[in-house]
Chains A and B, each alone.
Chain A
């Protein structure tokens, strides 16, 4: 018993180190690198939003001559990107929007990756009724139309950006879960897993030491795709008017612009920048996931 616990420590260290190594960021692919840089920039903007923003994004502003600063064009009266119909600073909204986007994106991706990975591991490793129940649940999740589900859910719950995260956690684990399960099924038949089992390793140890490290890049792949999904979903929900009006997000800005007739008045400066920000962050996630794919399935490159 003593020697067992004594030996456990370094093993644990080794496992964590190995896990980190397994994640290896796809740095040699130029697009993936571009994606990582885009992420880095947006993270910096989100962190230093207070310093970068020129105004409170929700404050109704007035010009020097005490007029409502509404519908100002970019550059007018020192508003870099102009103002909204209610007299709010678009540039500052854009800066603060990065906060909610990243917050939602990363937490949702984390939830999707974690739930999906756990489900896939359990179903794939233990098989039997656990597998049947979990895969049946995945089938049902596949049958639920995602966006309509989020709409209905956010209509019942208090308006909050977390509704999207919650809904994604409820539904979107299905894709990750299935893929990871099939990966585990193939890993399970490998000789070294058998060897570990014969050598008397516990199920838990096999799962975490031998199987989990091998599927981690796959979890990351699906996680990086989920970031994009979360941001797009949040934008759609806010656009449809089910978002939290107290939290500035890019989707909220677009809804505001659409509802305030910015389209017919040529207010491109209002609805183009938030869209571009969304595209940049989401596409960055795609590029990174492509980089992972090439690490995971190098055959595709040939």
Chain B
């Protein structure tokens, strides 16, 4: 949350995250080059470096792609999501170094434009065994560049979160291109089954995690709810919402987060204004709904970020009747204050009615 842009808002967690990533990366690159030189003494340093950087980028892309669904399936993975953009930028930089070295080694030493040479030096586009796989890597790198270049919050505001999200969904196109790049490239000359097995395992992991997370999300979106009382729809029993947490329902074409806190219930739109993170998967901290992705905060009664911040999300009318939570599906204008529904008084009324 900021009222003025900065390059990177460093905090302890980000520093620990980045130091850990860079240390693991240095260890991986050193081990790859060292082991490669030992196992393949005839391999040149350039070739080993190109392969080390390429495999590191591909491996890191798998990690980046798995963090999202893992966080949806198990909250313990949320700390990995917090600084995922740094992993994405690192993936691009590794890919750029891999592509740059490869372009220089294989295409820059002639009298043809290196990029033109990349596409025309091997014109066998109809062949599987000899496919010019480097072109696939080039297009994947363009996508990774666009994602890395737009990873700052400035781009969320200037492209708008939905457009930014659509742009960043291109990561799946980049991933498909890179799987083809590896399959048609390195795998063609590989005699050991290790690389092929690792690739199959990686693709299977990414696919199965995404399918599991999508199946879980689908159940929320497909639950049909009917208006029962002055347009209000019943969401759930209030006891089903844990204190300072939310339940998520789909109303008016988007998800709504219904929070229970301090004997009250409030409902706000589920999409955080920052990266459209799932507010309903966050908690109420210091009286504010806190997005689990990057900690953006909103007051549950008004959907407005505490001053001086300016983010706002729509709110919804809520009532609690006989222990059941009802939400009106029509969203209020951004930041509209809505009186929270009191749990105690409604349960008290129920007790009164029962005693009569």
A and B from one complex: no
Binding site for A on B (CB under 8 A): none
